Structure 1
Amino acid sequence: MRYDDLYIDNTILSSRSPYASYDAPHAHFKGVQLIADPIHGYIPFTVPIESVDGACEAAESDLIDSPWMQRLRAIAQLQSARWVFPAAEHSRFQHSLGTMHIAGRFAQHLYPTLFDVEPECPSLPYIESLLRISGLLHDIGHGPLCHFFDDHYLSRFAISHEMIGHRIISQLLCDPISRIRRSPSGEFAPDEVLEPHYVAYLMQKKLSDDPSMPRWLRLLKPVLAGVYTADNLDYVLRDAYMCGVAVGPVDLDRLPHYSFITEHGLTLHTAGIGALNMFLTARHYLYTHVYGHRTTRAIDLHLQELFPDTMNYIFPWNPLERLDDYLWLTDWSLLETVRRWAALAHTGKRDLGASWDAILKRRLKWKMAYDATAALRQIETLTGTTPDAGHVMRLIHEALPRSYQDLEFKLDTTSRGPRHTLPTAEHTWPLATYDPSTGDIQARPLAARFEHIPKPVTQYRIYTTDHAGIQPLARTCEAVLAQYLP
């Protein structure tokens, strides 16, 4: 198939025009309001319009103002990194609004080619609303400290925040979702009804492809679960801005502009490859210098020691079985609870409270003694494998001078890089490219196109509680890790 000309077929859209029902110049403003946002300027959202008979429809504002969405105001976007970057006090609520907005932009741009591939797909306003609401609700299942909560609490129940979000959407928000009949650009076609399970499907990144879902819906999955998404485009821009970190340009206009739907799925025009390179590089910088900042990781090491016992006191249940109680579990409720524990007579809570007090006052238990970063491929080439953290710890302990054999230390390893999210990886949704010089869609691996972006890296950091042991520990680490690091 050749795609020499990408165009919007006005004959396709005319019968489904988002403005077809507007019978007066001022009607465009009816039922839509604006939210001021530092990243996107103004974000439009729908509000209910009262009908002639006095009945009131549901709208996006009903979801935005719901207790579950308002709860996200009390959950920080950057978990422990906000104790490192003082201005990063933004919340999952703000990020969710931004994700909703970008998802709507994708819908507007992708719809003509989606219709071309799947003529039986719903109307443009329906697709726009579906993607926007999926973006709005994609983080609704998060707990306090966000992904840390997944790794160090939800894992004991073998669940994730996305599974909780699926339950909230399908059981608690299904009524307002199914009663929405408009997007910011217009009304749905007659008899079109938003399906909550469509929303739940789109917002779950780790959910494998479901052949029972309509093909048009599966073609839209990468908008929220692909390489560049409404989610990660917003958080890269927002987190960098709120942290005061310069990450280089993220071209939020060019990437959607050169994206379209083909029989191969989401496809990127080769003219957009440069913008994707820049975005992946910016995202990589945030992961290595903000989310994985040395002090952020030191705080996380301390939190790992406290969190299981803390949660046993505060919320010892599976959230899926206690959603009414989970509604009130946020960063605010958690931190205000543990803040009082240091003064209690209860020994267990008092000891935990003292440790929490140290974290909240930034009296860090763990100090970094050694830091090394190496490209993952270089490590594997040199050693034949990625070194096991436990094995490295034993080697370091054995090599320490005798007088420091009792030194308390931890090895923190993190592997990250934009190539982990490239469409060549099996766990990501596919991304085809369109080459205008041949008119062909290429679905083959894209590694060659991304050879100039940073390679996946592994960071090795050694932390200790003893300042006096930092130098001998650093020298020992240097000697031990020399056999692994190029």
Structure 2
Amino acid sequence: MREKVFRDPVHNFIHVNDPLILELIDTREFQRLRRIKQLGVANTVFHTAEHSRFSHSLGVYEVARQIANHLERFPSQKLGDGGWKVAERQVLLAAALLHDLGHGPYSHTFESIFKTDHEKFTQDIILSKNTEVHQVLAKFDEQLPEKVASVIAKTYPNKQVVALISSQIDADRMDYLLRDAYYSGATYGTFDLARIIHLMRPVEDGIAFEQKGMATVEDYIVSRYQMYEQVYFHPVARGIEVILTHLLKRSIELFQEQKQQHLKIEHFVTPDLKPLFEYNVSIEQYLDLDDASILENINLWRHSSDKVLAELSMRFLDRKPLKSIEIRPETRQYLAKLRPLIEDAGFNIKYYTAENDSFDTAYDLYHPTAKHAKTQIEMLQPDGSLAELSTQSPLVQALTGRSYGNARYFFPAEMLMEQTTGDLMAPVYQEFQRYVHNGALTEIENEILD
């Protein structure tokens, strides 16, 4: 096959010389990822962060391709020697390309509201005989759909392949750090990808890194930490996410009310969203969903007769984020004083306030002692033994177990606006601002890059 090359701002070129990969790229299911943003609502803060899960997935494939080329220098010679099995290349590359296939629009907010699981949908899409992805995989190897799905499920018997797709330092994370840094305009996520790949060595239970390159791995860990602090957990983006969460919850409430009253609900949500609101969505229906599906409905709800839904929709579409303050153990008690003031100002605290804990997301810093610890990063010693990274690096040891992100209390921005003396509500706003600015709670976030 003649090689096909995709231009890419992160990897310069993405090379495809495998007929299987090219056919998978052309499937309906993979092309859908063009219509789903990689960073959800982050573009409301970082205005160039418009990249898609399609471009990220291609990038993960390219990183995996480079890794596979490198690991072929260390082939397995006999059973149990820990070498790389060249025959695993096809499974690795297909899993890298398809790992995000099941993401829905505004992925993490979407999952929390509609109780979906993108990894489960990824597996179901791959295993369903009705999907183009399944048919392409099965055409090349009848067992390939099951193999690729098991890599996503982390049950594939070859732990090296699983680690390269899902571990503390894998093809997925390496691409999204570089890609998100590039498109957000941040410089925190940069690290030496080529050097990290060069340091990789296959071992019996996964992948290790040569001890001599520990500084490069440290750089990756620090870059990841900084990206979560500065980009992924940005308080303004979280304020927009809270609005999206509340407006979707309100829309579901109204949908259920209309359904119970036997009203015509087809006018409330578009047909593609109706199965989702009924929590009974098939794979085929799920594949009809993308960012445009949600935006189309929010545009409709902007003109809803329900004032809460209409107002929240306006705030989301016109970028009117909720403001926030950090919640610390010693200041949490003051929230009880803020809530009635917000209600007195005319806001329903159910829809216009929220406690948002960034620790409760899918992201976490490398922490080998955590309850749900992921695969450890192992450093290959000169004598052939393995040592966990934090035991070798004082820098990583300092970061291990250190919390990042924070808990925040979100509320309408109007609560911080100056009020005229003639406004009867002025005392309410003044008292609220007194609590916020006089040290009862930490100061309002500084909206750098906003």
**TM-score above 0.5:** yes
TM-score by length of 2: 0.78
- Name the SS of the counterpart of 2:365 in structure 1: helix
- Which residue is equivalent to 2:313? 356
Map 1:197-346; keep pairs closer than 5 Å: 197-204=146-153, 207=154, 210=155, 213-214=156-157, 217-247=158-188, 249-310=190-251, 313=269, 314-317=273-276, 321-343=281-303
2:380 paired with 1:434: yes
Number of aligned residues: 395
Displacement of 1:152: 2.3
Asked whether the equivalents of residues 37 and 106 of structure 2 are also in contact (C-alpha less than 8 Å), the reply is yes
Unaligned runs of 5+ in 1: 1-29, 49-58, 181-191, 374-386
Deviation at 1:230, TM superposition (A): 0.5
* Alignment match of 1:460 (pick from 399, 404, 407): 407
1:471 is the counterpart of 2:429: no
Which one of the candidate residues 33, 36, 48 is aligned to 2:7? 36
Give the C-alpha shift of residue 286 in structure 1. 1.6
In structure 1, give the amino acid aligned to 2:30.
M
Shift of 1:70: 0.8
Q: State the alpha-carbon separation in 2 of the partners of residues 259 and 309 from structure 1.
A: 49
1:346-382, Cα deviation, whole Å (9 max, x unpaired): x35x753442232111123x222x3478xxxxxxxxx
Q: What letter corresponds to residue 197 of structure 1 in structure 2?
A: E
Structure-2 change in CA distance of 1:236 and 1:151 (3 Å): same
1:84-109 per-position Cα deviation (integer Å, ceiling 9, x unaligned): 11111110000000001111112222
Correspondence 1:165 to 2:122: yes
Provide structure 2 residue ranges, at least 5 long, that are not aligned to the other structure: 256-268, 418-428, 444-450
Q: Secondary structure at the match of 2:33?
A: helix
Q: Residues 130 and 194 of structure 1 are in contact (CA less than 8 Å); yes or no, is this contact kept in structure 2?
A: no
- Among residues 96, 102, 115, which one is paired with 2:76 in the alignment? 115
Distance change (3 Å), C-alpha of 1:359 and 1:116: same
SS at match of 2:121: helix
Distance in 2, matches of 1:35 and 1:138, equals 19
Give the direction of change, closer, same or farther, for the CA distance of 1:405–1:117 in structure 2 (3 Å limit): farther
2:415 equivalent to 1:415 = no
Structure 2 contact 5–16 (Cα < 8 Å) conserved: yes
Q: What displacement does 1:47 show? A: 6.3
Partner of residue 94 from structure 1, selected from 51, 55, 77 = 55
1:141 aligns with 2:88: no
Inter-CA distance 136–61: structure 2 relative to 1 (3 Å threshold): same
Aligned-residue CA RMSD in angstroms?
3.3
> Are the counterparts in 1 of residues 240 and 320 from structure 2 also a CA contact under 8 Å?
no
Relative to structure 1, is the Cα distance of residues 134 and 294 closer, same or farther in structure 2, using a 3 angstrom cutoff? same
Matches of 1:223 and 1:401, distance apart in 2: 47
Counterpart contact for 2:355–2:410, Cα < 8 Å: yes
Contact 2:80 2:204 in 1 (8 A): no
Q: Give the drift of 1:133.
A: 1.1
Identity among equivalent pairs (%): 26
d(CA) in 2 for partners of 1:472 and 1:73? 47
Partner of residue 34 from structure 2, selected from 73, 77, 82: 73
Whole-angstrom distance in 2 between the partners of 1:353 and 1:401: 22
Match of 1:60 among 21, 38, 50: 21
